[in-house]
Amino acid sequence: MKKNQTIAELLANVNSAYLTDAEKYEAIARAERAEYIVEGISSAFKAIKKAALKLKAAFVPTSAQHA
């Protein structure tokens, strides 16, 4: 199984000698913020999809489910 690295971990491997500490921390904070936003949107999409599938199953007549 492949382990995914976070953006913050990937940024730690980048040569950032030209950046100040404040700029490094800001880049990491922005990356983490973006990850959380994407995770939230992904979670919401999965929940909506799951609810839609439940509604679809509820409205399909039982005789048509096996057709």
User: Is 66 part of a structural domain of the chain?
Assistant: no
Which residue segment(s) compose the domain that 35 sits in? 7-61
pLDDT of residue 11: 80
In a domain, 26, yes or no: yes
Residue 44's CB is within 10 A of a number of other CB atoms, namely: 10
* Residue 31 included in any domain: yes
Residue 23 lies in a domain: yes
Query: How many separate domains does the chain show?
Result: 1
In tens, the pLDDT along 12-59 reads: 788 888 989 899 889 889 989 999 999 999 999 999 999 999 998 888
Q: What is the pLDDT of residue 7?
A: 79
Q: What is the DSSP letter of 2?
A: P
Give the model confidence (pLDDT) of 57-67 as tens digits: 888 776 655 55
Please, are residues 63 and 36 in contact by the beta-carbon 8 Å criterion? no
pTM comes to 0.65
